[in-house]
């Protein structure tokens, strides 16, 4: 069209990493809201994204995660079972099985993720495939915590799978890539208008107060809107500051970012402190 290059859409596979063995809030993604598990509510939201993709839940081979497998099977959602702690291996093998050309990493503790945010990150990646080896909205973050989207071309994920040796690189999938900007080209997507809500708003689930907050949001918005948006939530919190206060003490608390330097030096396979 008018001499402009048209971006080819690669086969995109969104991988939702999920397990039941959270240390801070055990079984958090199986907790119920509106008669559905938090995991299923999140998957419903992801499926509303408009960019063509294949969705798969990557859980572990451990029996404790059988309920995750059953939720996926009961709702016709692809599921892959892999290594309990080596998430890089789990992502790589799930992507390989589904013949992914681009892999999207979304953790299962983001039940308020906005499908429009997913589309924003994916569209940026598609339009700039030749410029970046990794695209996310996390380096630095500006969206409310719980809207995490990372995109990795499969051949780059394969390099990481072959070369990453450190425990934290294996257990968090992507640090080998974004922690080496001298080798890999890193792209980042930010909120429009220069907004930064990453420290002031928390839409993820790690603590019981997070569950209470997320439940309150669903109780207010789900019946009328179904898949409500990030801005629907922000409008609600303007009207109902009491809801925002529920987990406000954890705003800006990101365990992984806070402990990244420690993670680079300890053996995580023995400490078992990683949540998904």
Per-residue pLDDT tens digits for 50-74: 999 999 999 999 999 999 999 999 9
pLDDT level of residue 253 (50, 70, 90 thresholds): confident
Rounded Cα–Cα distance for residues 147 and 145 (Å): 6
Tens digit of each residue's pLDDT (9 = 90 or more) over 99-152: 999 999 999 999 999 999 999 999 999 999 999 999 999 999 999 999 999 999
CATH 3.40.640.10 describes domain 12-271: no
Least confident of 77-81, 197-201, 264-268: 264-268
Contacts 24+ apart (CB under 8 A), 61-66: 62/19, 62/21, 64/19, 64/20, 64/21, 65/18, 65/19, 65/20, 65/21
pTM (2 d.p.): 0.91
| Sign of the CA dihedral running 14, 15, 20, 25 | negative
Task: Find tokens 């099977």 and name the residue.
Answer: 73
Asked whether residue 88 carries a pLDDT value surpassing 80, the answer given is yes
Other CB atoms within 10 A of residue 256 CB: 13
pLDDT at 254: 63
Q: Is 265 exposed, middle or buried (0-12, 13-18, 19+ CB in 10 A)?
A: exposed
């Amino acid at each position: 069209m008018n001499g402009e290059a048209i971006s080819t859409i690669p086969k995109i596979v969104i991988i939702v990493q999920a397990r039941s063995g959270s240390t801070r809030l055990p079984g958090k993604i199986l907790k119920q809201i509106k008669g559905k598990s938090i995991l299923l509510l999140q998957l419903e939201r992801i499926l509303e994204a408009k960019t063509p993709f294949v969705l798969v839940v990557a859980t572990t081979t451990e029996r404790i995660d059988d309920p995750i497998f059953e939720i996926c099977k009961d709702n016709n959602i692809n599921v892959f079972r892999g290594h309990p702690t080596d998430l890089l291996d789990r992502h790589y093998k799930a992507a390989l099985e589904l013949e992914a050309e681009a892999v999207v990493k979304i953790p299962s503790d983001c039940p308020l993720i906005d499908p429009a945010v997913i589309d924003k990150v994916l569209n940026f990646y598609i339009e700039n495939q030749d410029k970046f080896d990794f695209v996310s909205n996390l380096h630095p973050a500006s969206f409310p915590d719980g809207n995490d989207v990372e995109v990795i071309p499969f051949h780059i994920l394969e390099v990481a799978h072959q070369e990453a040796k450190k425990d934290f690189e294996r257990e968090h999938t992507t640090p080998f890539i974004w922690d080496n900007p001298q080798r890999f080209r890193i792209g980042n997507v930010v909120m429009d208008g220069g907004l930064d809500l990453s420290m002031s708003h928390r839409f993820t689930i790690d603590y019981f107060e997070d569950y209470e907050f997320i439940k309150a949001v669903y109780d207010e918005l789900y019946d009328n809107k179904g898949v409500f948006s990030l801005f629907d939530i922000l409008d609600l919190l303007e009207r109902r500051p009491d809801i925002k206060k529920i987990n406000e003490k954890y705003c800006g608390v990101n365990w992984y970012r806070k402990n990244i330097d420690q993670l680079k030096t300890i053996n995580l396979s023995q400490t078992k402190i990683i949540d998904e």
